[in-house]
Amino acid sequence: MTRPDISIIIVSYNVKNFLQHCLLALKKAAAGLQTEIFVVDNHSIDGTPDMLRREFPDLQLISNETNLGFGKANNQALKLASGKYVLFLNPDTLIEENTLSVLYDFMEKNGDVGICGPRILNADGTLQLACRRSFPSPRVALPKLLGLSALFPKSKIFGKYNLTYLDPGKNYPVDAVSGSFMFCHGDLIRQIKGFDEDFFMYGEDLDLCRRVQLAGKKVYYVADTAIIHYKGESSKSAPYDSLMAFYKAMDIFFRKHFSPFYSTITTLFFRIGIAFHLLFNFLGRLFFALRLPLLDLLMIIAALLLSLFLRFPADFFTELQHFAPVLGGYAAVYMLFLALGGSYRRAKHYDFVRAAANLLPGFVLNGFVTFFFLRAAQSRFIFLIAFVFILIVLMLWRIIAFRMRSRHFRQGSENARRTLVVGAGPEGQRIAATLGLHPELGYLFVGFVDRELQHPKTIGSIRDLSQLVKIQDIDNVIFSSDVLSLGEIIRMMAELAHFPLSIKIIPEKENRIFGKAVIENLDDIPVIEMEYAVLKPEWRILKRSLDLFFALIAILVLAIPAALIALTANVQAVKFSEDVPGGRIWRRKKDGSEPFLYWYPMLFSLLSNRMTIVGDLKNIPEGSRRYYKPGMTSIMRSEKAALPTPEEHERYIHYYMSNFSFVLDVEIIFKTLFLKKN
């Protein structure tokens, strides 16, 4: 068998579409050369292996059960590769038609070169600095860590790390090229056993280049051909993890290759510099994530201080010392309800109506405090005036931001909300087409999620929905109810409850879903935005806590009368309903009637988490029992809805889950207790 000219190794992780385009470009570039292609899939959940088997049956696929990291996965294929040259290629790249032939000829003519890499461009055509680098010794890395390389890119002293002072249009030896494209001498790479597997992600390319040079070969930057690299696609699923991996890799590389040559003090200072750079980078990201709550907090504090000044203009600073704890408490309460109400979920950042609604319970609670605590009672004027200011400024900035954001959408901005459609049936396909035809709506269709991966735009399976939302950085999820059951939708909504998402449903019938739903017309398609409060983790915890508290108190308080009834009324425990497993009530053996406290046995089901106080009585949709449990009573019972049809029952479920609150639960319990028997 003829030895291949080039063995091409690609490690893929959840970049199916990029990989598909990469392989198509490779086919064109491989014309006239003998090549073999290996794809090592690091447990992608976006359907990558199925796509490869279906569309590229000639390549060799290695499908891993876990994410082994970049170096270890490349080494898996390297053990099987037999080419004269080995190309380590990222899947999120596009290469020119002449790239392989240009670099093949370059290596053939330059036997002293062990690795070469091309000119690498970003998606906007600018040069990707990582395509030519120096090793991060302290003298080279410190200007990079301190930001001096960005301030003085043409300086040979400060611009050494990315060689920004050199002409990117010329060929020359460098310390290292980018791991996204490394064209290597095959026998040499096998001799040094490929990548160091201590590196999980980042740094392994620097290490490989260093070991190639220690073996007596050069590393070259070749500007005669170029590729495009959509940098960072595989690391989007865990940006904080990839940030840690980057700095860990830098530390490993320094300890391995430079630490023996520098004093302990120099090594210590260098590692402290890495740690501080990591800290500042992390704090910057954290500040960006918290920028909106911080903005609201500053505005609330400003409104409270302005109100205090209006109340006490002459003694402002004296009174500030007196009222500081009260004003701080007011601000904390408002921020708490804004957070609990979802104002800081990504899809709700600019929802000024929601912000106003979330301030109201804070107003009620703070107002309640002013009537019972002396210091707070003296601040009623401040409290009232401040609330007006807070309401105005928090709504105003959101209205302005919303209008600016809408203008970006109309101009086709990349800030459009990334949207998944769950269900690739006719309705799902219709809305996907609508989103594609109308960018002014502000939605960017990312792909379908479905049971089967048959539709070409399906990016993953329903079972991996929560991971896909994280990996794809999704803002909106739209469920298509023509292919999904109610139980499946509820289950998936519960799985997504902790994500900052906007969840919408395409109704099969327009009157099917109601409650706190908002109908949004996307072109001619009614899409209903749903938010099931009962699925939010904080409310589920509180609801469970109340169940436990009520059960424990009721069991203890009613223990004696319940024991007397059990002994004197000749009762037996029977199933409350065939549809409520574990739920028991007492009935008299003689005539089957219900004695006083007939529901006492249910309290033990509350303790075991098999039931809740207010839930459902029958036909709980499959897949939703974990989130919507059998109840001692239900909204249907409180409304005297005897034997509802399946459609009516479904409407009741939607109404309760959408409008859930403790006030609603109390209302249902009250109606149940005072409901007259027919």
Beta bridge partners of 444: 418
Q: Are residues 105 and 212 in the same domain?
A: yes
Domain-embedded: residue 390: yes
Domain-embedded: residue 243: no
Under the phi-then-psi rule, with left for phi > 0, alpha for psi from -120 to 50, and beta for the rest, what region is 20? alpha
Q: Please state the φ and ψ torsions of residue 86, each to the nearest 5 degrees.
A: -120, 130
Q: Are residues 493 and 558 in the same domain?
A: no
Q: Are residues 91 and 208 in the same domain?
A: yes
CA trace torsion 17, 20, 26, 27 (10° rounding): -150
Q: Are residues 74 and 33 in the same domain?
A: yes
Contact 163, 133 (CB under 8 A): yes
3-class SS letters over 505-569:
EECCCCCCCCCCCEEEEECCEEEEEECCHHHCHHHHHHHHHHHHHHHHHHHHHCHHHHHHHHHHC
Could you give the CA distance from residue 311 to residue 319 in angstroms, rounded to a whole number? Answer: 10
pTM of the prediction?
0.57
Domain-embedded: residue 258: no
- When divided into structural domains, the chain yields a total of 4
Domain-embedded: residue 381: yes
Mean pLDDT of the chain: 79
DSSP state of 445: E
Ranges 33-42, 83-92, 232-241: which has the least confidence: 232-241
Is residue 581 pLDDT above 70, yes or no? no
* CATH code of residue 477: 3.40.50.720
Question: Which residues are within 8 A (CB) of 282 and not within 5 positions of it... i.e. 6 or more apart?
Answer: 240, 243
**Three-state DSSP class for residue 480:** strand
Ranges 400-404, 448-452, 588-592: which has the least confidence: 400-404
674 vs 70 pLDDT, higher one: 70
Q: Are residues 200 and 302 in the same domain?
A: no
Contact 122, 131 (CB under 8 A): no
Q: Are residues 556 and 465 in the same domain?
A: no
Could you read off the pLDDT of 115-139 as tens digits, one per residue? 999 999 887 778 888 889 887 766 7
Ranges 118-132, 394-408, 513-527, 598-612: which has the least confidence: 513-527
Q: Which of 209, 235, 261 is the C-terminal boundary of a domain?
A: 235
| Pairing mode, strands 218-229 and 93-95 | antiparallel
Q: Which of 410, 438, 463 is the C-terminal boundary of a domain?
A: 410
Q: Please state the φ and ψ torsions of residue 165, each to the nearest 5 degrees.
A: -85, -5
Could you give the CA distance from residue 44 to residue 65 in angstroms, rounded to a whole number? Answer: 9
Q: Which of 493, 513, 531 is the C-terminal boundary of a domain?
A: 531
- The residue type at 422: V
* CATH code of residue 204: 3.90.550.10
DSSP 208-219: HHHHHHHTT-EE
Could you read off the pLDDT of 457-494 as tens digits, one per residue? 888 888 888 888 888 888 888 888 777 776 677 678 76
Contact 632, 613 (CB under 8 A): yes
Taking residue 111's Cβ as centre, other Cβ atoms within 10 Å add up to 9
Q: Are residues 185 and 314 in the same domain?
A: no
Tell me what pLDDT residue 628 has: 62
Q: Which runs of consecutive H residues, i.e. helices, occur in 371-502?
A: 374-377, 380-410, 426-437, 465-471, 486-495
Q: What is the mean pLDDT of residues 192-212?
A: 79
Question: Which residues are within 8 A (CB) of 586 and not within 5 positions of it... i.e. 6 or more apart?
Answer: 565, 566, 569, 571, 572, 573, 574, 594, 595, 597, 598, 599, 600, 601
HSE-CB for 307 with a 13 A CA cutoff? 23
Domain-embedded: residue 483: yes
Q: Please state the φ and ψ torsions of residue 134, each to the nearest 5 degrees.
A: -105, 160
Q: Which domain holds residue 558?
A: 537-673
pLDDT band at 618 (very low <50, low <70, confident <90, very high): low
Q: Are residues 561 and 592 in the same domain?
A: yes
HSE-CB for 77 with a 13 A CA cutoff? 30
278 vs 263 pLDDT, higher one: 278
**Three-state DSSP class for residue 223:** strand
Q: Please state the φ and ψ torsions of residue 133, each to the nearest 5 degrees.
A: -140, 165
- The residue type at 185: H
Could you give the CA distance from residue 602 to residue 152 in angstroms, rounded to a whole number? Answer: 74
| Token pair recorded at residue 554 | 């009721």
* Residue whose entry in the numeric block shows the structure tokens 């040559």: 261
- Select from 247, 140, 252, 163 the least CA-distant residue to 207: 252
Domain-embedded: residue 26: yes
3-class SS letters over 190-206:
HHCCCCCCCCCCCCHHH
Could you give the CA distance from residue 86 to residue 453 in angstroms, rounded to a whole number? Answer: 32
Q: Are residues 514 and 630 in the same domain?
A: no
Q: Are residues 351 and 469 in the same domain?
A: no
Is residue 510 pLDDT above 60, yes or no? no
Domain-embedded: residue 264: no
Ranges 105-119, 165-179, 473-487, 584-598: which has the least confidence: 473-487
Could you give the CA distance from residue 677 to residue 130 in angstroms, rounded to a whole number? Answer: 77
Domain-embedded: residue 275: no
Q: Are residues 55 and 181 in the same domain?
A: yes
Q: Are residues 436 and 452 in the same domain?
A: yes
Q: Beta strands of 65-187 (E only): which ranges?
A: 85-89, 93-95, 113-121, 172-173, 181-185
Tell me what pLDDT residue 413 has: 47
Tell me what pLDDT residue 263 has: 52
Could you read off the pLDDT of 374-413 as tens digits, one per residue? 666 677 888 889 999 999 999 999 888 877 765 555 444 4
pLDDT band at 103 (very low <50, low <70, confident <90, very high): very high
- Select from 366, 365, 341, 336 the least CA-distant residue to 354: 341
pLDDT band at 578 (very low <50, low <70, confident <90, very high): low
Rg (CA), the chain: 32
